[in-house]
Amino acid sequence: MRHLIDIGDLAVGEIDELIAVAEDIMAHPAKYAEVCRGKQLATLFFEPSTRTRLSFESAMLALGGSVIGFSSADSSSATKGESVADTTRTVGCYADIIAMRHPKEGAPMAAALKSYVPVINAGDGGHNHPTQTLTDLLTIREELGRLGDFTIGMCGDLKFGRTVHSLSSALARYAGIRFVFISPDELRIPDYLRLSLLRQGFGIEETASLEGAIGELDVLYMTRVQRERFFNEADYVRLKDSYILDAAKLSLAREKMLVLHPLPRVNEIAPEVDDDPRACYFRQMRYGKFIRMALIMKLLEVRP
């Protein structure tokens, strides 16, 4: 039995295989419609979510399976003091696979250590979000046509942004990636990630200027400044609008640069950008369903 807690749990060949299966699902959806008949997915979301939770549920239903679970810690026995491990063992009696989101780093790992069924980390605090990373990789592959030899700019909350941490670690396993990290000093990437990339020989640039960097990018990965990760409201208010991608800034970019965002957005991408063909973030959400279908199949060891 396997779990997915960190994107590093998957070999590069396995990631490429998942992407290939997702592409086949997009091309031949009817072929996969009954693959998980009789199987149940439990979505245990101790933290709010729209896209991740619904895409997991949609993925399982599209595979012919069913879904149980909760969308808030308030509707679970966590409010009575039940541990994550006990919740997981309980739910494992009713479901075949679990997708868990939790505000505390490491909670899905603690759950996996005691689980009777595969556990998928659907985001744990500011640490990791491997299925968003799979979504991002599929998006780049579909829209750019390759998973190597490009420059990616990551902009916004790079300190607490679990999607940035996961995606950077994943892309570091492909050749020819150049990283440009765009953030205020207070929200720079964690030291461990910077040192890891440098040790692996990757070129990285850190800057506070989106306008100065955007012209050299093949992919721009925008993120919101996350209110829920701040202990000080004044710091959040001061930093929340540090970067706003609008039509004027986008005019400085390459004609075929991709704009990605894990969503939700607040003010960091102006609505006027949505209709630009370079804006991929809503297509990105659609890709998320298909890659999660492929992942569920892999962990449940089922095939069409």
- 240, pLDDT greater than 60: no
**Domain match, 152 and 102 both:** no
Which residue is catalytic, options 51, 178, 188, 229? 51
Which residue is catalytic, options 53, 101, 127, 162? 101
- 195, pLDDT greater than 90: yes
State how far the Cα of 223 lies from the Cα of 266, in Å rounded to an integer.
Answer: 9
Provide the 10 A C-beta neighbour count for residue 201: 7
Asked if residue 1 belongs to a domain, the reply is no
Average pLDDT over residues 10-39: 97
Q: How confident is the model at residue 238, as a pLDDT? A: 60
pLDDT tier, 224 (very low <50, low <70, confident <90, very high otherwise): confident
State how far the Cα of 301 lies from the Cα of 294, in Å rounded to an integer.
Answer: 10
State how far the Cα of 270 lies from the Cα of 268, in Å rounded to an integer.
Answer: 7
Total number of domains in the chain: 2
State how far the Cα of 135 lies from the Cα of 115, in Å rounded to an integer.
Answer: 25
Active-site residue flag, 254: no
**Domain match, 101 and 213 both:** no
Q: How confident is the model at residue 119, as a pLDDT? A: 97
Active-site residue flag, 51: yes
When mean pLDDT is compared across 131-135, 224-228, 241-245, 253-257, the lowest value belongs to 224-228
**Domain match, 123 and 148 both:** no
Q: How confident is the model at residue 235, as a pLDDT? A: 56
Residue that has been written with the tokens 């749990």 in this structure: 9
Which residue is catalytic, options 3, 43, 52, 131? 52
Average pLDDT over residues 248-273: 94
Query: Using N-to-C axis directions, what is the helix angle for 12-27 and 130-144, rounded to 10°?
Result: 60
Residue 300 per-residue DSSP state: H
- The answer to whether 259 touches 279, Cβ cutoff 8 Å, is yes
When mean pLDDT is compared across 31-40, 76-85, 141-150, 273-282, the lowest value belongs to 76-85
What are the phi and psi torsion angles at 285 (to 5°)?
A: -65, -35
Which residue is catalytic, options 127, 129, 165, 289? 129
For residue range 33-44, what is the model confidence (pLDDT) as tens digits? 999 999 999 999
**Domain match, 255 and 294 both:** no
**Domain match, 78 and 197 both:** no
**Domain match, 248 and 234 both:** yes
Residue that has been written with the tokens 């005691």 in this structure: 114
Asked if residue 2 belongs to a domain, the reply is no
CATH number at residue 88: 3.40.50.1370
**Domain match, 27 and 75 both:** yes
- The answer to whether 132 touches 52, Cβ cutoff 8 Å, is yes
pLDDT tier, 80 (very low <50, low <70, confident <90, very high otherwise): low
**Domain match, 79 and 94 both:** yes
Tokens of 89: 């063992």
Tell me the pTM: 0.91
Q: How confident is the model at residue 145, as a pLDDT? A: 95
What is the overall mean pLDDT for the chain?
90
Asked if residue 186 belongs to a domain, the reply is yes
When mean pLDDT is compared across 71-80, 98-107, 176-185, 241-250, the lowest value belongs to 71-80
Active-site residue flag, 129: yes
Q: How confident is the model at residue 78, as a pLDDT? A: 61
Average pLDDT over residues 172-195: 92
CA 270 from centre of chain? 22
**Domain match, 117 and 238 both:** no
Active-site residue flag, 101: yes
pLDDT tier, 248 (very low <50, low <70, confident <90, very high otherwise): very high
Q: How confident is the model at residue 153, as a pLDDT? A: 97
- The answer to whether 5 touches 130, Cβ cutoff 8 Å, is yes
Alpha helices by DSSP H, the chain: 12-27, 51-62, 84-91, 107-114, 130-144, 162-171, 191-199, 210-213, 233-239, 247-250, 281-300
For residue range 85-143, what is the model confidence (pLDDT) as tens digits? 899 999 999 999 999 999 888 889 999 999 999 999 998 876 788 999 999 999 999 99
Q: Tell me which residue range forms the domain holding 158.
A: 130-284
Q: How confident is the model at residue 288, as a pLDDT? A: 97
Of 98, 102, 5, residue with least CA distance to 47: 102
Asked if residue 176 belongs to a domain, the reply is yes
Average pLDDT over residues 257-277: 94
Q: How confident is the model at residue 186, as a pLDDT? A: 83
